[in-house]
């Protein structure tokens, strides 16, 4: 029998605030006069969600903000009740939803460990056994007898995390926000969560925005979208779908709101007319294969002649992390640009980044390195997944041509798709 059964569950919230006396009186008057009373609009946080989880499954839940992930967790943790449908959880649930809920500032670290653990339903004797471990994990040995109102915020969340994850139950409901603190401690948190998830054959429901982590930990992933189950299946497929949707969303946003407001500074001497990514047949495209050629064509109009201008074309991620850039400054005899329309092509024979959405930036300087034009996110393009990435988690950012030497024999590799094709034949 399934250990978690979610049977056509919906959860509605009413928008706005609870009716006050004034509203009630006004509505009463309206009813007396036969007018319709105002009703608060409803919002479906979960809409007919239906799935079951078997014992021992590790299931990831992903989705955009507001997709209903937290609402689902709250229902499973019994904090809130569904508006419609039925929810059955067979076994003790340990909801690791929030770090440090119930920590009391006035009490010392030691007192809080016992109190918080009791609130989380961990028996006292278990805590007594685990106390030293909890404190050591939180790295708070020195401060354990200080009231936690004197703690830094990092110390508080460390303590909270350490207590919360000492819980032992058949079903773990984990929210990603659990990874807290500085980089080193986050690493520890992730390791601890992975230990919790992977060992002991527990059933785990894991909510996260860190899709890579979900892919690595979970065998099955449920994608929520606006309160509905958009996909439910093997981790990789669902994650791929989510990436595709996310990228679409980013592109929509850029072509919409951002389109008008690109990050551009220009002296007016040149105008960029068009930037295109070209495919093998030199036609404009939006998508190139991973490891394939990236050819960017820039058409610009020069209003004042520029002697030996320096042109920089580069790529960056949608969050403006600069990836590649090349400048014409290193070219021996770069040409002058006269007044008129010019076409410039930037060609990377093998663009080595894995699937995702990337953007193009462009800068033009005159020969004295005065900035004439600079723009980011001028054009977006997608790098499609290679065959190998569809099959297993792309645990990498770069897709580089590779050679191997195994047992004395040289395998002159190529980029990933062809290796994969070779393996298939």
Partner 1 sequence: MIALVRELYNFRELVAALAWRNITVRYKQAYLGIAWAIIRPLSLMLIFTLVKSIVGIDSGSIPYPILTFAALMPWIFFQDSASEGTGSVVTNASLVRKIYFPREVFPLTTMASKLIELAINFGILGLLMAWYGMMPTIHALWVPVILLYTVLVALGVALVGAAINVYYRDIGAALPVALSMLMYASPVIYPLQLVRDKLLVEQAAGEWSRLLYVIYTINPLAGIIDGFQNALLRGLPPDLMSMLPGMIATLLLLPLSYRFFKRAEAYFADVI
- By CB under 8 A, name the binding residues for partner 1: 13, 18, 74, 77-81, 95, 97-98, 101-102, 104, 106-107, 111, 114-115, 118-121, 123-124, 147
- C-beta closer to partner 1: residue 23 or 279: 23
Phi, psi angle pair for 97, to nearest 5°: -100, -40
- What minimum distance in Å lies between the beta carbon of 120 and partner 1? 7
- C-beta closer to partner 1: residue 179 or 231: 179
- C-alpha to C-alpha distance for 73 and 417, rounded to whole angstroms: 39
- C-beta closer to partner 1: residue 114 or 131: 114
- What minimum distance in Å lies between the beta carbon of 157 and partner 1? 14
- C-beta closer to partner 1: residue 75 or 222: 75
Question: Rounded to 5 degrees, what angle do the CA atoms 384, 386, 391 make?
Answer: 120
- What minimum distance in Å lies between the beta carbon of 11 and partner 1? 9
Residue partners of 3: CB distance under 8 A and separation at least 6: 53, 54, 55, 89, 90, 91, 170, 171, 203
- C-beta closer to partner 1: residue 147 or 413: 147
- What minimum distance in Å lies between the beta carbon of 74 and partner 1? 7
- C-beta closer to partner 1: residue 29 or 101: 101
- C-beta closer to partner 1: residue 124 or 249: 124
- What minimum distance in Å lies between the beta carbon of 102 and partner 1? 5
- What minimum distance in Å lies between the beta carbon of 288 and partner 1? 46
- C-beta closer to partner 1: residue 98 or 139: 98
Q: Are 385 and 355 in contact (CB under 8 A)?
A: yes
- What minimum distance in Å lies between the beta carbon of 179 and partner 1? 17
- What minimum distance in Å lies between the beta carbon of 3 and partner 1? 17
Residue partners of 421: CB distance under 8 A and separation at least 6: 387
- C-beta closer to partner 1: residue 79 or 136: 79
3-class DSSP assignment, residue 385: coil
Question: How far are the Cα atoms of 10, 68, 181 from residue 45, in angstroms, in the given order?
Answer: 7, 5, 30
What string of DSSP letters covers 238-298?
Answer: HHHHHHHHHHHHHHHHIIIIIHHS-EEEE-SSEEEEEEEEE-TTS-EESEEETTS-EEEEE
| Closest alpha carbon to 309 in 370, 376, 362, 378 | 370
3-class DSSP assignment, residue 130: helix
- What minimum distance in Å lies between the beta carbon of 104 and partner 1? 6
H helix or E strand, kind and range, residue 4: strand 4-14
- C-alpha to C-alpha distance for 409 and 396, rounded to whole angstroms: 26
- What minimum distance in Å lies between the beta carbon of 177 and partner 1? 11
- C-beta closer to partner 1: residue 60 or 82: 82
- C-alpha to C-alpha distance for 177 and 361, rounded to whole angstroms: 34
| Closest alpha carbon to 207 in 74, 61, 87, 78 | 61
Q: Are 142 and 65 in contact (CB under 8 A)?
A: no
- What minimum distance in Å lies between the beta carbon of 164 and partner 1? 10
For every residue of 314-334, which 3-state class applies, written as one string?
EEEECCCCEEEEEEHHHCCCC
What order do you get walking across the sheet with 171-175 strand by strand? Answer: 93-96, 171-175, 203-207, 58-63, 220-225, 228-234
- C-beta closer to partner 1: residue 117 or 221: 117
- Structure tokens of 214? 């979900």
Q: Pairing state of beta strands 228-234 and 356-365?
A: unpaired
């Amino acid at each position: 029998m399934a250990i978690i059964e979610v049977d056509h569950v919906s959860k509605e919230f009413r928008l706005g605030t609870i009716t006050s006396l004034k509203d009630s009186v006004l509505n009463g008057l309206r009813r007396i006069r036969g007018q319709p009373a105002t009703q608060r609009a409803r919002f479906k946080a979960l809409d007919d969600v239906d799935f079951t989880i078997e014992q021992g499954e590790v299931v990831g839940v992903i989705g955009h903000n507001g997709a209903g992930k937290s609402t689902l967790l709250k229902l499973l943790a019994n904090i809130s009740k569904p508006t419609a449908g039925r929810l059955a959880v067979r076994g003790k649930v340990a909801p690791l939803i929030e770090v440090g809920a119930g920590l009391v500032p006035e009490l010392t670290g030691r007192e809080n460990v016992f109190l918080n653990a009791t609130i989380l339903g961990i028996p006292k004797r278990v805590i007594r056994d685990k106390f030293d471990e909890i404190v050591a994990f939180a790295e708070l040995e020195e401060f354990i007898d200080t009231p936690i109102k004197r703690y830094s915020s990092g110390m508080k969340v460390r303590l909270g995390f350490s207590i919360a994850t000492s819980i032992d139950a058949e079903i773990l409901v984990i929210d990603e926000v659990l990874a807290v603190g500085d980089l080193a401690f986050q690493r520890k948190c992730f390791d601890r969560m992975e230990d919790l998830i992977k060992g002991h054959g527990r059933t785990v429901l894991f909510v996260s925005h860190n899709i890579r982590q979900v892919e690595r930990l979970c065998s099955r992933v449920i994608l929520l979208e606006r309160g509905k189950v958009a996909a439910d299946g093997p981790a990789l497929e669902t994650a791929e779908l989510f990436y595709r949707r996310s990228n679409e969303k980013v592109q929509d946003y850029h072509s919409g709101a951002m389109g008008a407001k690109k990050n551009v500074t220009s002296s007016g001497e040149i105008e960029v007319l068009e930037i295109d990514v070209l495919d093998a047949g030199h036609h404009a495209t939006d998508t190139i294969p991973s490891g394939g050629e990236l050819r960017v064509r820039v058409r610009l109009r020069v209003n004042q002649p520029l002697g030996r201008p320096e042109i920089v074309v580069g790529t960056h991620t949608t969050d403006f992390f600069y990836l590649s850039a090349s400048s014409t400054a290193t070219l021996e005899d770069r040409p002058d640009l006269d007044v008129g329309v010019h076409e410039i092509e930037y060609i990377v024979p093998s663009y080595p980044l894995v699937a995702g959405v990337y953007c193009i930036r462009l800068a033009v300087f005159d020969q004295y390195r005065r900035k004439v034009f600079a723009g980011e996110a001028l054009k977006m393009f997608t790098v499609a997944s290679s065959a190998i990435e569809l099959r297993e988690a792309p645990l990498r950012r770069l897709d580089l041509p590779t050679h191997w030497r195994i047992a004395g024999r040289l395998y002159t590799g190529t980029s990933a798709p062809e290796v994969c094709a070779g393996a298939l034949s």
